Amino acid sequence: MSTFMANKDAIERKWYVIDAADKTLGEVAVAAATLLRGKHRPEFTPHVDCGEFVIVINCDKLVLTGRKLDQKKYYRHSGYVGGLKEVSARALLESNSPKMVTLAVKGMLSKNKLGSAQILRLKAYAGASHKHEAQKPEAWTL
């Protein structure tokens, strides 16, 4: 008996909604990364993109424990000399909370073409509404 290997043509993707209100950034990111990767499926195959679409709502109501709001920094570089920019977690949460979720989930995915394709299926929104009702997403509880 041989080991079952999924192929990309046989995968049917579902849509899931994760409500991030009053949840920590880590537990939301872990749940989203697991769904995007497809590790919740019994037919999971590491080298095949068999994950789902994930919608994260209420990103602006995320919770960071301890003193992370003030101590955690997000860095980016323009590519020019002296082009290092930093922003605190508090400022990023207030200005662009979906980006905080996206960065956390992206850090949990593979650093290759497979991970690049998976992160495109993550849709994060600051409020409680989203524009994917036509796909009939199911709620994913944490």
CATH topology (fold) of 14-65+95-139: Ribosomal Protein L13p; Chain: A; (3.90.1180)
User: Mind spelling out the 3-state secondary structure of 4-28?
Assistant: CCCCHHHCCCCEEEEECCCCEHHHH
Give the separation between CA 131 and CA 124, rounded to whole angstroms. 11
pLDDT tens profile 17-66: 999 999 999 999 999 999 999 999 998 999 999 999 999 999 999 999 99
- pLDDT at residue 66, as a whole number: 96
pTM: 0.93
Give the separation between CA 79 and CA 70, rounded to whole angstroms. 26
H or E element in which residue 109 lies: none
| Residue whose structure tokens are 């919608």 | 55
Is the predicted pLDDT of residue 6 greater than 90, yes or no?
no
- Close Cβ partners of 69 (under 8 Å, ≥ 6 residues apart): 88, 89, 90, 93
